[in-house]
């Protein structure tokens, strides 16, 4: 069965492969890792990659690996080279010194070289063309394979990859970037190239990018705040660059980011993604991409917190190639220090507050976001509590103000709607079609309607309480949406007609159960069944339970974490 790798998977698996001489041969365990199981997992993955590779020499994509849509990316071929080299050079791999595997590596290398343009760059067919950053991502893996060959004295494999790498280096010393993390991705790739084929031009280009300074804020977040994606990419890149260039100062931002991530973890190991500026916003993700940085830093600093954060990731995210290149990763981890589980922590720069109470986890977004609160009890997840009214087609509650007081967090938003009178200024008449919008401010307003929203979150003995108030213009339909993660069991709420994931909580309490975790919420009220109000944001994916009414509206919801 083919294995399809998207760009994020390819990036997350980016690594450097190294000599089997540094890896324990015929050992049952090393550094707390089960070596036979690790090798078996690696070899099975490699087998799937090989099964997906195009081998027809007449096919224009020969050597590549298609995704589910039949699109071929250099990232997948480079990942194959990295994993193939690890298997080829590890004595205990079933692919060790395989002539068939060498032939497949030759096909993959040819695919990559054919894909380079005259500048040495490749295309990412889904979005980026003549792309130095994507070339750098690919170099991470190809340089890994080359490093393994170099350290094992294998000139054949090294020669196989050298042309692509040197041409890519020419592109990277001149090429640009278009997102903040790309700077450090390029630096890591150039550091790898310089390690293989020393060149002052590589180091000079690295110094140019580093002169901008690492984009880490006072809260330990990089510019993109991509907790499930590019944070880990940057941490990995900085560790690689620090190691290859012997610039240990580059490890300091990694420490600060890992320290910050300890407070952005949910009880089930998922990370808070509500602060991201990238495509992982509001998605599910864990610390898997941080595996290399966590293990490297845990051992280098003898940091028990990093060891504790690392534990849930192994063995699933272990990379054989990393272990082979960096033998220090096989050291015994320090005694684990528990990840914080009881705290109130505000991140003013990121605009969130994090609350943890053991298996209970709450994220509060300060303002400017309709998903202003999410609550969890273990595996039971309320993705968001939102509300909106039908007020002039713009009634979605998006807090403009957030204040922390002794009794919790208070949110507020004010809206107005109006009607316009005729223009009486003769100099502006007749009104041309192209001046309608610009002349709106010249018109007298009438029938001005107002709406004031208030919300209040406070902690209780059983969980949390959310009070919602909307007043001003009367008789405006309103609906509260409590959006839940799919896969759980909902009781106490009634399915809406002709809908599989819309429920009405007409009275009493509802229960949402996922495994052994339960969140009870309510009481309900249901004055109407209109839940997708005009002007409200579209319903979120997954089941949603609604509470409805009319303004003036005041309702307090209890969330009991069981």
E strand or H helix at 502: strand 502-504
Q: Cβ distance 111 to 63 under 8 Å?
A: yes
Confidence (pLDDT) at 24: 59
| CA 537 – CA 90 distance, rounded (Å) | 54
As a dihedral over the C-alpha atoms of residue 58, residue 62, residue 66, residue 71, rounded to 10 degrees, the angle is -70
pLDDT, one tens digit per residue, over 320-333 is 999 998 889 999 99
Predicted TM-score (pTM) of this structure: 0.89
Please state whether 514 falls in left (phi above 0), alpha (psi between -120 and 50) or beta: beta
Map residue 388 onto helix, strand or coil. strand
Beta-carbon contacts of residue 457 (< 8 Å; ≥ 6 apart): 364, 373, 408, 409, 411, 464, 465, 466
| CA 490 – CA 380 distance, rounded (Å) | 11
The distance of Cα 154 from the centroid of its chain, to the nearest Å, equals 38
Rounded to 5 degrees, φ, ψ at 482 are -110, 100
Structure-block tokens of residue 236: 């990995």
Structure-block tokens of residue 101: 């595997």
Interior angle at CA 402, CA 543 and CA 486, nearest 5: 10
DSSP 306-332: HHHHHGGGTTTT--HHHHHH-GGGGSP
Q: Cβ distance 112 to 48 under 8 Å?
A: no
Is 212 exposed, middle or buried, given 0-12, 13-18 or 19+ CB atoms closer than 10 A? exposed
Cα separation values, 260 from 222, 284, 354, 523, Å: 11, 18, 12, 37
| CA 94 – CA 309 distance, rounded (Å) | 32
Structure-block tokens of residue 105: 């590596």
- The list of the chain residues with pLDDT below 50 reads 1-22
Map residue 348 onto helix, strand or coil. coil
* Cα Rg of the chain, angstroms: 28
Q: Is the peptide bond before 430 cis (omega within 30 degrees of 0)?
A: yes
Interior angle at CA 502, CA 496 and CA 507, nearest 5: 65
Confidence (pLDDT) at 23: 59
In residues, how long is the chain?
A: 562
| CA 238 – CA 209 distance, rounded (Å) | 12
Confidence (pLDDT) at 32: 76
| CA 156 – CA 65 distance, rounded (Å) | 23
Is 351 exposed, middle or buried, given 0-12, 13-18 or 19+ CB atoms closer than 10 A? middle
Confidence (pLDDT) at 315: 83
| CA 414 – CA 427 distance, rounded (Å) | 35
For the chain, list the domains and their CATH numbers: 7-340 (1.50.10.100), 343-561 (2.70.98)
**3-state helix vs strand vs coil in the chain, percent to 5:** 35, 25, 40
| CA 64 – CA 53 distance, rounded (Å) | 6
| CA 526 – CA 507 distance, rounded (Å) | 7
C-beta neighbour count of 54 within 10 angstroms: 18
Beta bridge partners of 465: 458, 558
As a dihedral over the C-alpha atoms of residue 32, residue 308, residue 213, residue 188, rounded to 10 degrees, the angle is 30
Beta-carbon contacts of residue 343 (< 8 Å; ≥ 6 apart): 263, 354, 355, 356
* Strand ranges across the sheet with 408-420: 401-405, 408-420, 445-459, 463-472, 553-561, 517-522, 510-514, 489-491
């Amino acid at each position: 069965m083919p294995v399809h790798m998207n760009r994020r998977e390819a990036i997350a698996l980016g690594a450097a492969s190294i000599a089997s001489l540094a890896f324990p041969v015929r050992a049952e365990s090393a550094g707390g890792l089960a070596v036979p199981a690790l090798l078996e997992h690696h070899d099975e993955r490699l087998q799937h990659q090989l099964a997906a590779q195009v081998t027809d020499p007449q096919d224009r994509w020969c050597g590549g690996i298609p995704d589910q849509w039949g699109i071929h990316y250099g990232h997948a071929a480079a990942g194959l080279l990295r994993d193939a080299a690890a298997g080829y050079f590890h004595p205990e791999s079933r692919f060790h010194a395989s002539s068939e595997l060498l032939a497949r590596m030759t096909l993959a290398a040819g695919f990559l070289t054919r894909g380079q343009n005259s500048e040495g760059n490749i295309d990412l067919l889904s979005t980026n063309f003549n792309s130095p950053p994507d070339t750098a991502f690919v170099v991470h893996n190809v340089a890994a394979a080359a490093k393994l060959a170099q350290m094992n004295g294998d000139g054949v494999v090294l020669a196989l990859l050298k042309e692509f790498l040197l041409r890519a280096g020419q592109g990277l010393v001149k090429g640009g970037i278009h997102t903040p993390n790309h700077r450090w991705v390029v630096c890591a790739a150039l550091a790898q190239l310089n390690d293989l084929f020393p060149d002052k031009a590589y180091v000079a280009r690295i110094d140019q990018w580093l002169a901008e300074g690492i984009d880490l804020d006072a809260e330990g977040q990089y510019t993109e705040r991509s907790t499930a994606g590019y944070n880990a990419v940057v941490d990995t890149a900085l560790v690689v660059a620090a190691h290859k260039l012997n610039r240990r100062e580059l490890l300091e931002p990694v420490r600060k980011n890992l320290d910050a991530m300890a407070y952005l973890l949910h009880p089930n190991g998922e990370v808070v993604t509500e602060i991201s500026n990238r495509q992982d916003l509001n998605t599910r993700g864990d610390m898997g991409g941080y595996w290399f940085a966590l293990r490297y830093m845990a051992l280098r600093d003898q940091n028990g917190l990093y060891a504790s954060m690392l534990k849930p990731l192994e063995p699933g995210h272990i990379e054989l190639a990393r272990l082979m290149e960096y033998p220090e990763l096989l050291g015994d981890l320090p005694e684990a220090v528990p990840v914080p589980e009881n705290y109130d922590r505000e991140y003013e720069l990121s605009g969130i507050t994090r609350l943890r109470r053991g298996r209970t986890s709450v994220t509060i977004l300060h303002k400017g976001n309709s998903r202003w609160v999410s609550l969890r009890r273990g595996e039971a997840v309320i993705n968001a509590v939102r509300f909106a009214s039908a007020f002039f087609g713009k009634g979605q509650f998006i807090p403009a103000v957030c204040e922390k007081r002794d009794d919790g967090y208070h949110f507020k938003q004010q809206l107005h709607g109006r009607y316009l009178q005729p223009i009486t200024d003769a100099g502006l008449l007749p009104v041309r079609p192209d001046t309608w919008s610009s002349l709106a401010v010249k018109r007298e307003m009438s029938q001005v309607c107002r709406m004031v929203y208030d919300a209040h979150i406070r902690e209780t003995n059983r969980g949390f309480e959310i009070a919602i108030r909307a007043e001003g213009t009367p008789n405006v339909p309103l609906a509260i949406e409590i959006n839940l993660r799919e896969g759980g069991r909902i009781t106490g709420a009634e399915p809406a007609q002709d809908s599989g994931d819309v429920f009405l909580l007409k009275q009493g309490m509802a229960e949402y159960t996922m495994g052994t975790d339960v969140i009870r919420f309510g009481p309900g009220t249901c004055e109407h069944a209109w839940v997708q109000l005009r002007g409200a944001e579209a319903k979120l994916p997954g089941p949603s339970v609604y509470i409805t009414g009319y303004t003036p509206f005041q309702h307090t919801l209890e969330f009991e974490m069981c």
